Amino acid sequence: MKARNLRRLCILAAAFGLSAAPGLSKVDKLPFGQAGGMPVDLYVLTNPSGMTAKIMTYGATLTELDTPDRSGKLGDVVLGFGNLDGYLAKEPFFGATVGRVGNRIAKGVFTLGGHTYHLATNDGPNHLHGGVRGFDKVVWSAQVVPADAPTVRFTYMSRDGEEGYPGNLTVAVVFTLTPSNELRLDYTVTTDKDTPANVTNHSYFNLGGAENGDILGHVLTLNADRFTPVDSTLIPTGELRPVAGTPMDFRTPTRIGEHLAAVGGTPVGYDHNFVANSGGGEMAPIATVYDPKSGRVMEASTTEPGVQFYTGNFLDGTLTGKKGVVYRQYWGLCLETQHFPDSVNHPNFPSYVIRAGDTYRSTTVYKFSAR
């Protein structure tokens, strides 16, 4: 069979949620339970090399990501649960699409167009990841997109006034698993009123597999000469500070645990926004993570101006995830590509306010390999 016909077979299989032949891309759709009386589906994306990404419609959440290690053995590199119940209970946004505004807004207050808006304060004194019922806690619509690579488009309409935000906002996230072992996320956001929006993915990565320990031995490189210092409640002070001479300096490959104690905080660890050297707007590399034990490498590129690096400081051993693994402190790391925290209250930060009638687009790619 010619390659062109094989590709057509793959596209047709994806369009109808069917499995393609071995070695081909495919998309499978499986039932995954109910949330609030609504059915939740799980989409399984597989590329020709066998890499697999599983995304469910509840929260447009990445529940599993299987990538090969240096010996070619596939392993799951994201934290999460094996069933929907774990996600319906209190959990720290494992793999979720978060918004309307990801990250924090100081005291849950901002002013836009002469009007002051008050949001839920669900993280101490501050607003976090869209509020009490953010994008992570709703059921999204989903559609398989016929393409050369397995692709699923997730959409959600956030109504005017939802969680206190102005405007009817429509958001789409397209997940694509490429033949070159890239997980690509394309975001599109539109609104009929001026509103802040900062949508991102909140996956916790452990390139060694969560069953094999913490991420402190992972080696991180960040293309960021500056970061945004924070106060005791993790709200940026407004300063853009050079990383040179601080525990925030990952401009050269550095073991994550090397300077962890010097970071401080309660609990101790990284939960900071780094300013992309690219400035955002165009696709550019932002981070590389390497696990010496498994050999896995993750390279993150984005059009966003920043990335929130978080080391799972608040994981405390009370959650048991896939394979019966207890998720303890530092068991996963997040690289949330996004605009800076509390940007709506800092005129010197890149703005994430979307104007009525405008369309905001953003792309992030996580590329996996091994050495």
Which residue from 173, 143, 145, 170 is spatially nearest to 156, judged by alpha carbons? Answer: 170
Q: What are the catalytic residues?
A: 202, 336
Cα–Cα separations (whole angstroms), residue 161 to 59, 168, 202, 217, 354? 19, 8, 24, 44, 16
Q: How many CB atoms lie within 10 A of CB 81?
A: 21
Q: In the 8-state DSSP scheme, what is residue 345?
A: G
Cα–Cα distance for residue pair 154/173, rounded to 1 Å? 5
Cβ–Cβ < 8 Å for 126, 105? yes
Cα–Cα distance for residue pair 79/201, rounded to 1 Å? 13
In this structure, the dihedral spanned by the alpha carbons of residues 7, 10, 14 and 17, taken in order and rounded to 10 degrees, is 160
Cα–Cα separations (whole angstroms), residue 297 to 67, 79, 164, 258? 10, 17, 40, 19
- Across 235-346, the runs of DSSP E, i.e. the strands, are 241-242, 254-255, 271-275, 284-290, 296-302, 306-310, 319-320, 326-327, 334-338
